[in-house]
C-alpha cells in the first residue's frame, strides 16, 4: 500500500510539482493574511489599531505616497496644477480630489508574486532581483492609473468613474488588477524560460 502510494506520488510529481504548489499556497496565505492583519493595525477605530505602528511603520502609506507623488510629478510636468495633501489626497486644480485607499495598492497581487518567487529554488540574489522586478511592474502600473484618473479630474470629467467602467461590474480597479496579473504572467513565462531545468540525456 505504502509503496503504491509512493509510486503514485512520484508519477504525479513528474508532471506536477506538488511541493512547489504546497509551498506557494502556504506562503501566499501567510503573506496575504499578514497584510490584511496589518491593515487592521493601521485602521483607526479597528479593535487592533495601533497608533505607534500607524505613525512610524505604515508601509501602505509609504507606497500610496510614492505612487501619488510620482503621479503628481507627471501631471505637473504636463502643465497641470495638481498637488498631494498628506499622502492621502491627490487634489486637482478643479477642486476634485482622488483618494487612494489601501485596496488600491495591490496587496493581494504583491503577496502572490512574493510567494511565487520564494517558492522557487534559486539563489537569494536572483530571488531579490525577481521580487523587485515584479513589485516595480505593479508600482509603475499604479502610477500610470493614478495619473490617468487625475487627468480625467483635471479635465473636469464629472462622470470619470463611468468612463472607466466596462460593462456592469468591471471598473478601473478591476482593470488594473487584470493588467498586473497579465504582466506578472508574462514575467513568469520569462522566468521559467530562463530557469527551466535542463533535460538530462539518459
Q: Is residue 51 part of a domain?
A: no
Q: Is residue 7 part of a domain?
A: no
Q: Is residue 25 part of a domain?
A: no
Give the total number of structural domains in the chain. 1
Domain with 133 in it: 58-195
Q: Is residue 8 part of a domain?
A: no
Q: Is residue 117 part of a domain?
A: yes
pLDDT in tens, 105-154: 889 999 999 999 999 988 999 999 999 999 999 999 889 888 888 887 77
Q: At what angle do helices 107-119 and 172-195 cross, to 10 degrees?
A: 10
Stated length of the chain:
202
Return phi, psi of residue 140, to 5°: -65, -45
Q: Is residue 99 part of a domain?
A: yes
How far apart, in whole angstroms, are the C-alpha atoms of residue 172 and residue 162?
9
Question: What pLDDT score does 56 carry?
Answer: 92
Q: Is residue 63 part of a domain?
A: yes
Q: Is residue 69 part of a domain?
A: yes
Residue labelled with grid coordinates 524560460: 193
Residue 170 has pLDDT above 70, yes or no: no
Whole-angstrom distance between the N-terminal and C-terminal Cα of the chain? 30
pTM: 0.78
Amino acid at each position: 500500500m505504502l509503496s503504491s502510494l509512493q509510486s503514485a506520488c512520484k508519477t504525479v510529481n513528474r508532471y506536477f510539482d506538488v511541493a512547489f504548489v504546497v509551498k506557494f499556497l502556504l506562503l501566499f496565505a501567510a503573506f496575504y493574511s499578514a497584510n490584511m492583519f496589518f491593515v487592521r493595525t493601521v485602521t483607526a477605530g479597528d479593535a487592533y489599531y495601533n497608533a505607534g505602528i500607524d505613525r512610524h511603520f505604515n508601509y501602505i502609506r509609504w507606497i500610496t505616497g510614492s505612487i501619488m507623488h510620482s503621479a503628481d510629478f507627471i501631471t505637473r510636468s504636463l502643465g497641470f496644477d495638481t498637488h498631494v495633501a498628506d499622502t492621502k489626497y491627490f487634489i486637482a486644480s478643479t477642486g476634485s480630489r482622488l483618494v487612494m485607499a489601501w485596496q488600491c495598492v495591490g496587496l493581494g497581487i504583491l503577496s502572490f508574486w512574493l510567494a511565487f518567487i520564494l517558492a522557487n529554488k534559486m539563489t537569494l540574489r536572483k530571488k531579490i532581483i525577481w521580487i523587485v522586478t515584479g513589485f516595480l511592474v505593479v508600482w509603475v502600473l499604479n502610477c500610470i492609473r493614478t495619473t490617468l484618473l487625475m487627468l480625467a479630474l483635471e479635465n473636469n470629467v464629472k462622470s470619470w468613474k463611468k468612463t472607466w467602467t466596462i460593462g456592469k461590474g468591471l471598473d478601473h480597479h478591476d482593470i488594473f488588477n487584470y493588467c498586473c496579473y497579465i504582466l506578472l504572467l508574462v514575467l513568469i513565462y520569462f522566468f521559467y524560460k530562463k530557469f527551466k531545468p535542463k533535460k538530462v540525456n539518459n
